Amino acid sequence: MIERGVRFAISGAVFAADRGSKYWIEQNVSAFDTLTVIPGVFHIIHAQNRGAAFGFLNQNEGHFRVFLLVGVSSVILAYVALQLWRMPKAMWPQESLTAAALAMVFGGALGNLFDRIFRGSVTDFLQVFIGSYEWPSFNVADSAITVGACLLFLALWRAKPQPVT
């Protein structure tokens, strides 16, 4: 069973892991370094993403980009926080999965929003290759959002339809 405090503790842990990892990268890896973890598969780099996922809007300037990235993200983040707050105590494994997934999404989104507001860009540092394809670099917050979204999808897929009364 996942109570409200645990849900927000999960979000806080994701946020702390994201901030800590980004801080370490910013202090120890220059923009020109590549730390090879698994040759041809996984590297650690230091990149600044001023845009959204996969570099979308990275080159755009002005108020539209700020509105879209900070404003819309803030509204969505507030909605997810409200859902986490309102969610009843999870009594069933299905509800616990949904609660944990939302908590991961919230913590990751909060980490990236923090960067956008206070730094103007998001630090990305994980670089993965699949054959000759290079996946766009990402970070702990992006990973938490992705895993959380996949868990939400799984929870929805496994949910039993409720009878209409």
| DSSP code per residue over 114-134 | HHHHHTSSEEEEEEEEETTEE
Indicate if 124 belongs to the active site: yes
Catalytic entry in 18, 33, 115, 124 = 124
18 is catalytic: no
- Give the number of C-alpha atoms closer than 13 A to the C-alpha of residue 133, restricted to the C-beta side: 3
Distance separating alpha carbons of residues 18 and 84, to the nearest angstrom: 20
Amino acid letter at 136? P
Q: How many whole angstroms separate alpha carbon 92 and alpha carbon 162?
A: 15
Instruction: Write down the catalytic residue from 18, 33, 115, 142.
Output: 142
CA-closest candidate to residue 21, choices 133, 163, 144, 164: 144
> What are the residue numbers of the active site?
124, 142
